[in-house]
Structure 1
Amino acid sequence: MLPTTNHEPPFAITRASHVSLAVTDLEASRDFYRDVIGLVVTEETDDAVYLRGLEEAAHHSLVLERGPEAKALQIGLRVRRDADILAAEKHFAATGVPFERVEKPHQGPTLQFRDPVGTHMELTSSMDLVPRKMQEFHEFVAGAPQRLDHYQVVTYDVQTATDFWTGLGMRMSEYTATDGTDELWGTWMEVKGNTHDLVFTNGRGPRLHHFAYTVPDATALLHAADVAGALGFGEEIDRGPGRHGISNALFLYLRDPDQHRVELFTTHYQFIDLEDQPIRWDVSNPRRAQLWGMPASNRWFFEASEFPGEEVHEPLLTANPTTLEQYLGVH
């Protein structure tokens, strides 16, 4: 069934903010995100690299941490004020959601918790400021990513995940459902006024499918693909270029040296006015994922980054998407 957004949530979430990944070769991952994707390196330590998009004033939107195995550590959201961190602690204590206050470099008050489907989340109310580089056009390389925009999480229970996050103020802009019903297969939810900050799609989870950065225009996507090919990462283009039906985005997906997936995209639309209604897509409609071109491969549909120590569950709904391999087998 369709969720109801709580327009007076217990604390104010403002946007998708930052993501932390464990990587097995810190230097190789740094080079990939700097040279192939085009992010700005803000700071390096012996065990971490902090990166950001060209228009971002916050210290980081991507943190790479050296680790023994590749994992998605935390998905970060911003809240409006320090008081919202306190309100989140109060709300989670009252509703039985485990949480922990942590100290993170370059971040203000920070809270970590697991949502009801096991997604590892982090809230922070502020970050150190650094100069924006949005007019340093001579530094626009590869895809010239501007800012972190959203995440997509694979979950075994889309309904439960969606109910939780709409209860915290997120609005559903688009969704996929079993044909002729509102049985949820995927939900696109937002707080900042475009189509999504946080997405949940049906599958083995919880796992982070991808995180996404905006780019200036369609030519930036093509240039990123050319740079990936020139630097030996052509086979790590996971999907695209193409255009999604859902969100209307032009997209390009790439895999980093540890196979974490990052999306570069452009052309979202606004979803601000409260009278706007979510767009519904039948799960059988291939245009929801791809308005033109062939479907994605098996690895795009079924591979994703696990969270440390989190059991992966089989989905409540049987997932059987048409993959590129199946498509080519019948055409």
Structure 2
Amino acid sequence: MPIQAASHIAIGVRDMQKSLDFYRDVLGMHVSLDAEEELPALGDAPPLKRRGVYLRWREGPHETFIVLDQQLSREPFGEPAGLFQVGVHHFGFWVDDADAIAVRAEQAGHPVVVRPVNGDTLAYGEPSGGVVRSAFLRDPDGNVVQLDQRVRPHP
């Protein structure tokens, strides 16, 4: 059976409140669950206690969600990949107003890496001729978050 949709993105965070301020208050997602959990060993990760905050922008059985994951049994470690490095170097969201969100992010103290700019839909795996307005932000842990606003669909 083919993939139906992206399920979720799990993001390890150092400071849950700062991350909630960004994903909930700046990007406009809503919390669907906030829970502390004891997780068993998974792969090469040892058992740990964590706080998982699940954020959604829409409800539904195949709607993608985000999990903010703060380790409670040990100090968070590691750094996110830089833009265009090996690994997941950014993730993007379709939005209604990239400019307004970029302003809100900046006012809240989150870096805007690339201010909103128009680009061709070819960069989104679609035929050329449409316009998408994009901006790049950094979340509190340094992950690059892309905002994409469809300005004009491809012909």
SS in 1 for 2:98: helix
Query: Does the alignment pair 1:221 with 2:94?
Result: no
Percent identity of the aligned residues?
30
TM-score of the aligned structures, taking structure 2 as reference length: 0.69
Give 2:23's aligned residue: 33
Give 2:116's aligned residue: 241
SS in 2 for 1:31: helix
Query: Does the alignment pair 1:57 with 2:60?
Result: yes
In the TM superposition, what is the alpha-carbon distance from 1:43 to its structure 2 partner? 1.2
| CA distance in 2: counterparts of 1:204 and 1:213, whole angstroms | 20
The verdict on how the C-alpha distance between 1:204 and 1:28 changes in structure 2, with shifts beyond 3 A counting, is closer
Q: Higher strand share goes to which structure?
A: 2
| CA distance in 1: counterparts of 2:3 and 2:153, whole angstroms | 20
| CA distance in 1: counterparts of 2:99 and 2:85, whole angstroms | 31
In the TM superposition, what is the alpha-carbon distance from 1:57 to its structure 2 partner? 2.3
Give 2:147's aligned residue: 264
The verdict on how the C-alpha distance between 1:260 and 1:204 changes in structure 2, with shifts beyond 3 A counting, is closer
The verdict on how the C-alpha distance between 1:204 and 1:260 changes in structure 2, with shifts beyond 3 A counting, is closer
Q: Could you tell me whether the CA contact under 8 Å between 2:26 and 2:104 is conserved in 1?
A: yes
| CA distance in 1: counterparts of 2:85 and 2:103, whole angstroms | 32
Give 1:135's aligned residue: none
The verdict on how the C-alpha distance between 1:254 and 1:70 changes in structure 2, with shifts beyond 3 A counting, is farther
| CA distance in 2: counterparts of 1:70 and 1:42, whole angstroms | 27
Give 1:13's aligned residue: 3
SS in 1 for 2:90: strand
In the TM superposition, what is the alpha-carbon distance from 1:26 to its structure 2 partner? 1.6
The verdict on how the C-alpha distance between 1:256 and 1:242 changes in structure 2, with shifts beyond 3 A counting, is same
Per-residue CA deviation, residues 190-240 of structure 1 (Å, 9 max, x unaligned), is xxxxxxxxxxx9x541x2121111112xxx21211221122222xx11112
In the TM superposition, what is the alpha-carbon distance from 1:241 to its structure 2 partner? 0.1
Q: Higher helix share goes to which structure?
A: 1
SS in 2 for 1:64: strand
Q: Number of residue pairs matched?
A: 126
Counterpart amino acid of residue 21 in structure 1:
I
Q: Could you tell me whether the CA contact under 8 Å between 2:24 and 2:30 is conserved in 1?
A: yes
Q: Could you tell me whether the CA contact under 8 Å between 1:70 and 1:258 is conserved in 2?
A: no
Q: Could you tell me whether the CA contact under 8 Å between 1:238 and 1:254 is conserved in 2?
A: yes
Give 2:48's aligned residue: none
Give 1:45's aligned residue: 35
The structure number with the bigger radius of gyration is: 1
The verdict on how the C-alpha distance between 1:60 and 1:256 changes in structure 2, with shifts beyond 3 A counting, is same
- After superposition, the CA RMSD in angstroms is 2.7
Q: Could you tell me whether the CA contact under 8 Å between 1:214 and 1:265 is conserved in 2?
A: yes
Q: Could you tell me whether the CA contact under 8 Å between 2:102 and 2:115 is conserved in 1?
A: no
